[in-house]
Structure 1
Amino acid sequence: MRLITIILSILITITSSMTSFADTKNVKNYSFDNDIKMSGVISTTGKFFNISKNWNVENAKLNLVFTKSELLDVDYSTITVFINDTPIHSQRLDGKKEYKKETVIEIPKDLIKEGFNEVKIKAYKTISDMVCRDDANTANWLVIHEESNISVNYNYKEVSNQISEYNNLYMNSDNGSRLNTTILIPDNYSSKELTSGMILSSDIGGNFKNESFKFDFNLYLDFKNKDDNIIYIGKENNTSKDILNLLTDDEKNKLKENCIIKQTNSIFNKDKKMIIIIANKEELLEKASRIISSDELLKNLNTDSMTINENTDVDDLNKKISSNRVYLKDLGYDNIIEKGPFSQETIIDVNVPKNKVVTNGSKIKFNIRYAQNLDFERSLATVYINEIPIGSKKLSKEKSNNDTIELELPKEVFNYNYYQIKVVFNLELLDLACVTRETDNPWAYISNDSFIDFSYVDNKNLSFKNYPNPFVNNDKLNDLKVVIPDSSSSEDLTNVANIIGYLGRDVKLNNGDFKVLKSSEIKSEDKKSNLIIIGTPKNNQLIKDINKNLNLKFNNDYSGFKSDNNIKFVGKYASEIASIQLIESPYEKTKATMVISSTVPKDLSLGRTYLSDISLTKELKGDTVIIDRNGHIKDLSYKESSIETNEEINTHKVLSSQAKIFILVAVFLFITLIISIVFLIIKYRK
């Protein structure tokens, strides 16, 4: 009996484990980001979510968190949820006062499509049977809270060994935003092997522009995540036999003058994939990384093995993607239609390159159409930028089928990197004073060939508000050299790779000038580039060399940072922090240098964290950041301080000038007085 009990226990444990394993799925949550206030009798809001083409969606749901006015009429007030304009759920809004009520709504899988999907929430809210009065009643409200989200459970589709499947294989993340991918390089790596891996790190950032992510960049012998897909880069004589054995004899022979790119099963886990990039000539490794990081070139690599040589052209077309003219369709927007009477609005998000500043001459031009049954004496369209109204246009029946809104951007909206453009249509109808029921009439339409024309000047202000400028410019890495200690662990390289990954969010072209160098290898010519220098004064000589140029300097024995007019250190605190500093390059005035430094290597990760996490990096200000071991952060602005000092000096100069004038006038009056006295004396003597 005891034996049977033991066997049953083991079977239950195994079954439970198998069930748990079977239930493990990838989950992607799309949050609402901000509270959404919905007023009036009829109101609508929506949220987009994206389904990648390599996902098999298991299920999806809307987790709706809302608060409503307790005065709503329970018999008539409702909300309805749509997925891609198909209704999937309705419920009454009861009269109970309940803060942040939670409702879970299943989204039918067959209504979800690849690419962008829209969940729309429509609310009908009344307080009494006097609907017209309710429409303007301030107690008629509903709030969708930012805790709301769309949750998608999915598995990844099986893909082939074609190199063109690279993004579908290696750009997949788990539920904690960690990529299921590790980049591997040899233990005794060269700078060119390292640079090749970092080019692919930048490409990872390009695939996760608006999402948090992290990934591992390891030395070969340190690799432990056997369940990861692998990207391996190395020279033939630096590569283990286990990896070389994945090549055919013909491929090995081609290594003399070529680089081999091969997609295969991982040597660590037969259920995982591995792409290997191997060459004898180091410069070919970089070329291979560039061809893989080019979406345009990658999609044509419909093979599991290929060779490239010195003559292979792997650069993206040297065209300027970021134009001064930004079309809505290039931002991913479809044609926009708004339906219903009275106030209808649409919001368009536009980001400006961090290396540019918007100036005079910028304008918007929206191509619009609208219904002909409007009361044209009262109907108009108004445009807001970052909640600032920039102009309105009266709608007319004569132009209803082909109209435009063309407005110049006022100076109040200059100097932003992000623009929220809101177009509000006031669609008034004859003999209709308020909304009594939902209707699709009237309507207004914005074509996605509408555009914003930006007039730019270069942004030369070195500030973390503008980061990653100037290290990324015109959609590519901008003459950038990253200088690291001669000896770096897998953890060190992972941190550097994630910093490069963050830069890659703004990179669209693969032909930027970029290298990663060991500190002992840097040459005078390299120093004339934009620099990112990482390390301590003891393991990176370049930090010692430029200490006098830093905003926050090390003390004489490099045991800690030195107090100055911006910050005071007490005790050991100065040796237990990391700093990130943006300065004008000491070697080339037209270039910039960013220094990530600390007194001990373990503290460097403090600085690197704030340069790779999108939620943390966007909060940085000034030109110098200090982070301590408890995660406390302090922003400093040395350039602003310098400007204030100059203003004080100028003030002293002005005061000195005024004093000189006063003295001259006093002297003149004194001389005049003396002359007058002399004349009086002479007169009375006579």
Structure 2
Amino acid sequence: MKKQVGRGKRKKLGILSNKLENMPPFAEESRMMMKIQKKLWVSLVLVLFILEGLAPRVYAEIRPTAQTVISKGQPETESQAPLLPVADPEGAAPPEVTEPAHEPTTYTQDDFFTQKTLKGIYSSADLYFFAPSYWDVKYVYAQLQYDVSQLLEGKASSITLSVNGVPIQSYRLEYKNGSPQILYVKIPVSEIRTGFNSLTISAYARLFDEEGCVDDASDANWLRIYDTSHIRSGYEVKDPEQRISYYPYPFMSTYNPTGKGLTIAVSDQAVSGEVAAAMNIMADLSSETKAKNEIEVCLLSDAANKDTTRTILVSAYDNLPAEYKNLVGKAPDSTGNATVTFTDDSQGRPLLIITSMEEDSLIEASNMLMDENRVMQESGQTAVIEKGSGQIAMNAGKQSDMMAGNYTLEDIMGSGLMFVGPFHQDNYVYLPVTGDYVLSEGGKVALKFRYSENLDFTRSLVTVSWGEIPISSKRLSKENASGDELNFEMPGDILGTAASSIKISFDLEIADLICTPRQSDMPWAYVSKESTLFLPPSNGINLSFDVKGSPFRSQGKFNQVMLIIPDKPSGDELNLLGQVVAMYGSGIKPYGSLLVRKGSEFQKDDGDYNIITVGTFLDNSLIAQINDSLSFHYTPDGTGFESNEQLILSRDYAGQIGIMQLIKSPFSLNRGLLAITGCSSESISRVQEYLRQSKKRDELKKDCVIIAPDSSITAFQFIQGTAANAEPAPMEKLVQNKRSVIFTIVATSAMSLILVAVIIILLRIRMYRKRDE
């Protein structure tokens, strides 16, 4: 999808990137700058000596330089504009209003539409639905609830449905007294493929009045599809046969969307590597949950007390009880490789055991399970994950991050965009961005397109929108019909905002359009696949629950995250940490940076991370250490919270509440810290239960939230300004832009070196001329 970097350059860039990312603030940058400057001055001296010998030769051998010719590639040719699959309305079938007959199945899945309104003579909409590999699909049908314009001419209007680009049926469209209508469409199982499928609804809607055709009133010929419309799939499930390639099934499945009954357990020693891998898995599987996340995270000894039907156990091999070692069979080798074993526990329930002789290798195994391309290769019961195998993917990710936001339409869609038919036409380009994406400054769009020459060019134009916000437009012209362009920079008012799509719209107006448009007069427009979008993501941080990703995610991966846990974490604390990780990890990609430290192990020198910590003042030493930095401080004895300028707390209330506090990290600039704190296990458990519900998580606002004993919340704003509008301090700017600063110094020094060299050459040439004269 992105341009490849040569192996040598890739290696150098990777080394430089690693150095920059692992350095603590200020000191290392200063040392690096001094080293670079020193090397540049040494290089300057060498160049001066070389120039001293080269100047006579340069004077004698100056020749005109060849001109560089830059050729423009010609846009691809379009043999013929493809047309929407519409049927002859008079030959289309009447709408089917009864549910298709089918055999009952154990499981069903409904995928609902969002409400859509199709306008114009030709229009279409898509619904995507997913069929996992473990489904044995028995039937599929669509139920559409819709209504149409009262001006619609039923004898000249139809609707066609296609699955994965294959037309399956066409029906007449008619107005029915303003009442919503129902249409059932049976979808052949043979057309359903594993993975994503598309249902395309193509409408051909004509308008007539008493005097004849009025199709040019394009807003009047509409088809509204209600959000009660859906696709229903009936299926049975396949036996996973203890094959890892089926993962995450049966541990997560479409028929259990909350994850109820799944327990992710670590050994009772809860060493850092075990907890890190377990939290990585929790974040990944939480992407499968819907309205509520009922996955449990606990110590292995507590798993028996859970309502467990499926277990994922993460443990260093030395910490595994004997019964689990027997299930693993052969112990992992001493090279640090990890193993993943799919088996059944003593009660015949699915069990996945992740183990290694080295706890640091457990995170590699969790990354493998998050990587669909690697999981599908593991058709057996046991997989061996070699130590360091994920490093290739991590390095590749760092390289791709440097090119993030630079796409062509071919990268995103595999082709260009076609617009067919008169009047207003919309097409959406769904951006390959993650949930934490925010637009940075410097974004640009360069569209290349062409269109038919039979348009009314006084009324035809192209418009580009960021989501649904118009950002640029251009009127079409006959002289540019065979090759036009629209180039613009993203407007300042949308910087710091996010959108999942860019909408490209054409208004293709035809003069004197009559009742039955001839096919040869059909207007069309085509946006070339070479069109480019440069949409760089913001690297700033925003410490607010309104922006769920920042600062703990970047480019869809964990962004230098360190989880600080109590030395002896309780089950409630592990569960709470799991729910916080799930909140920030929904849709997470593998190979991010996620570490775990116990409170007593944490050193200030390790503080250049975005930190998440849970617990109480008494059992988590880090919380006691940062108490003065919290928005709500603990009392000296740790049994309650103190009042502050925004809220006066009563004594009893202060000991019962749980608080989620986002603050600037006291250990490093341009880093954030989230502390989820309470004074008792009851308050910790209450926060955990609150975070299980996605609707509740969406209610979190500002940078500090109190969760009361009745589970109501109160939000406070203590940090003034946000990443989008606050002006960082000078030293923060230096850290935020450390790469840019270093590269700017290198570039400036190099330019200075070249300038000095040119001046010396010119002086030496002048000297030799005078000598010759």
**Do the aligned partners of 1:131 and 1:436 also contact (CA within 8 Å) in 2?**
no
The structure-2 alpha-carbon separation of the partners of 1:54 and 1:450, relative to structure 1 and needing over 3 Å to count, comes to farther
Structure 2: stretches of 5+ with no match in the other structure: 1-102, 728-773
Q: CA deviation at 1:411?
A: 1.3
Give the match for residue 145 of structure 1.
226
Kindly provide the CA deviation profile for residues 209-268 of structure 1, in whole angstroms up to 9, marking residues without a partner as x: 9997552334334436888444322233322333222244xx23x545544514343124
Separation in 2 of the partners of 1:198 and 1:532?
A: 12
Structure 1: stretches of 5+ with no match in the other structure: 1-20, 648-686
Give the match for residue 271 of structure 2.
190
Give the match for residue 391 of structure 1.
472
- From 264, 281, 286, the counterpart of 1:200: 281
Kindly provide the CA deviation profile for residues 334-360 of structure 1, in whole angstroms up to 9, marking residues without a partner as x: 543332222111123437667775354
Q: CA deviation at 1:201?
A: 2.3
Give the match for residue 61 of structure 1.
141
- From 712, 720, 724, the counterpart of 1:640: 720
Kindly provide the CA deviation profile for residues 365-411 of structure 1, in whole angstroms up to 9, marking residues without a partner as x: 23434445545564332112243332223445666565443222111
**Do the aligned partners of 2:390 and 2:591 also contact (CA within 8 Å) in 1?**
no
1:146-295 equivalences under 5 Å are: 146-159=227-240, 161-167=242-248, 170-178=251-259, 181-205=262-286, 208=288, 214-223=294-303, 228-248=309-329, 251-252=330-331, 254-268=332-346, 270=348, 273-295=350-372
The structure-2 alpha-carbon separation of the partners of 1:194 and 1:347, relative to structure 1 and needing over 3 Å to count, comes to same
Q: Are residue 24 (structure 1) and residue 101 (structure 2) matched?
A: no
Give the match for residue 666 of structure 2.
586
Counterpart residue identity of residue 59, structure 1: Y
SS at match of 2:313: strand
**Do the aligned partners of 1:532 and 1:594 also contact (CA within 8 Å) in 2?**
yes
1:20-59 equivalences under 5 Å are: 23-25=105-107, 27-33=108-114, 35-40=115-120, 43-59=123-139
**Do the aligned partners of 2:147 and 2:175 also contact (CA within 8 Å) in 1?**
no
Counterpart residue identity of residue 267, structure 1: D
Q: CA deviation at 1:594?
A: 0.4
The structure-2 alpha-carbon separation of the partners of 1:439 and 1:483, relative to structure 1 and needing over 3 Å to count, comes to farther
1:417-456 equivalences under 5 Å are: 417-432=498-513, 441-455=522-536
Q: CA deviation at 1:193?
A: 1.8
SS at match of 2:273: helix
1:212-611 equivalences under 5 Å are: 214-223=294-303, 228-248=309-329, 251-252=330-331, 254-268=332-346, 270=348, 273-301=350-378, 303-307=380-384, 314=391, 316-319=393-396, 320=398, 321-322=400-401, 323-328=404-409, 330-331=411-412, 335-350=416-431, 358-371=439-452, 373-376=454-457, 378-395=459-476, 400=481, 403-432=484-513, 441-455=522-536, 457-505=538-586, 507-512=588-593, 514-555=594-635, 557-569=637-649, 572-608=652-688
Greater share of residues in strand? 1
Separation in 1 of the partners of 2:652 and 2:208?
A: 64
**Do the aligned partners of 1:42 and 1:125 also contact (CA within 8 Å) in 2?**
no
**Do the aligned partners of 2:457 and 2:476 also contact (CA within 8 Å) in 1?**
yes
**Do the aligned partners of 2:333 and 2:357 also contact (CA within 8 Å) in 1?**
yes
Separation in 2 of the partners of 1:626 and 1:434?
A: 64
TM-score between the two structures when normalised by the length of structure 2: 0.69
Kindly provide the CA deviation profile for residues 172-229 of structure 1, in whole angstroms up to 9, marking residues without a partner as x: 3434342775323223432222222222223335x65999755233433443688844
SS at match of 1:587: coil
**Do the aligned partners of 2:630 and 2:663 also contact (CA within 8 Å) in 1?**
yes
Kindly provide the CA deviation profile for residues 556-606 of structure 1, in whole angstroms up to 9, marking residues without a partner as x: 554444444434556754444332211011232332100112233233344
Q: CA deviation at 1:534?
A: 1.0
Counterpart residue identity of residue 326, structure 1: Y
Q: CA deviation at 1:294?
A: 3.8
**Do the aligned partners of 1:162 and 1:263 also contact (CA within 8 Å) in 2?**
no
Separation in 1 of the partners of 2:438 and 2:307?
A: 47
Q: CA deviation at 1:469?
A: 1.7
Separation in 1 of the partners of 2:569 and 2:614?
A: 11
- From 174, 193, 199, the counterpart of 1:119: 199
Higher relative contact order (CA closer than 8 Å, sequence separation 6+): 2
The structure-2 alpha-carbon separation of the partners of 1:193 and 1:455, relative to structure 1 and needing over 3 Å to count, comes to closer
Q: CA deviation at 1:613?
A: 5.2
**Do the aligned partners of 1:339 and 1:440 also contact (CA within 8 Å) in 2?**
no
The structure-2 alpha-carbon separation of the partners of 1:589 and 1:326, relative to structure 1 and needing over 3 Å to count, comes to same
Separation in 1 of the partners of 2:288 and 2:529?
A: 25
**Do the aligned partners of 1:364 and 1:452 also contact (CA within 8 Å) in 2?**
yes
Separation in 1 of the partners of 2:669 and 2:479?
A: 58
Kindly provide the CA deviation profile for residues 251-309 of structure 1, in whole angstroms up to 9, marking residues without a partner as x: 23x54554451434312454x64332223332333333334334454455455435456
**Do the aligned partners of 1:537 and 1:544 also contact (CA within 8 Å) in 2?**
yes
Kindly provide the CA deviation profile for residues 8-57 of structure 1, in whole angstroms up to 9, marking residues without a partner as x: xxxxxxxxxxxxx98421x4433334x32344565433322233344322
Kindly provide the CA deviation profile for residues 507-549 of structure 1, in whole angstroms up to 9, marking residues without a partner as x: 434152x222333443344444321111232333332332221
The structure-2 alpha-carbon separation of the partners of 1:518 and 1:361, relative to structure 1 and needing over 3 Å to count, comes to closer
The structure-2 alpha-carbon separation of the partners of 1:284 and 1:422, relative to structure 1 and needing over 3 Å to count, comes to closer
Separation in 1 of the partners of 2:288 and 2:152?
A: 43
Separation in 2 of the partners of 1:381 and 1:489?
A: 59
Separation in 2 of the partners of 1:209 and 1:400?
A: 49
Separation in 1 of the partners of 2:170 and 2:270?
A: 58
Separation in 2 of the partners of 1:414 and 1:103?
A: 43
The structure-2 alpha-carbon separation of the partners of 1:120 and 1:217, relative to structure 1 and needing over 3 Å to count, comes to same
**Do the aligned partners of 1:217 and 1:497 also contact (CA within 8 Å) in 2?**
yes
Counterpart residue identity of residue 530, structure 1: N
The structure-2 alpha-carbon separation of the partners of 1:426 and 1:83, relative to structure 1 and needing over 3 Å to count, comes to same
Counterpart residue identity of residue 463, structure 1: S
The structure-2 alpha-carbon separation of the partners of 1:196 and 1:356, relative to structure 1 and needing over 3 Å to count, comes to closer
Separation in 2 of the partners of 1:286 and 1:552?
A: 34
The structure-2 alpha-carbon separation of the partners of 1:413 and 1:434, relative to structure 1 and needing over 3 Å to count, comes to farther
SS at match of 1:242: helix
Give the match for residue 83 of structure 1.
163
**Do the aligned partners of 2:149 and 2:175 also contact (CA within 8 Å) in 1?**
no
SS at match of 2:393: coil
Moved more, 603-612 or 187-196: 603-612
Moved more, 369-378 or 545-554: 369-378
Percent sequence identity is: 27
The structure-2 alpha-carbon separation of the partners of 1:491 and 1:550, relative to structure 1 and needing over 3 Å to count, comes to closer
The structure-2 alpha-carbon separation of the partners of 1:294 and 1:371, relative to structure 1 and needing over 3 Å to count, comes to same
Separation in 1 of the partners of 2:622 and 2:719?
A: 22
The structure-2 alpha-carbon separation of the partners of 1:113 and 1:343, relative to structure 1 and needing over 3 Å to count, comes to same
Aligned-residue CA RMSD in angstroms? 4.0
Give the match for residue 747 of structure 2.
none
Counterpart residue identity of residue 281, structure 1: E
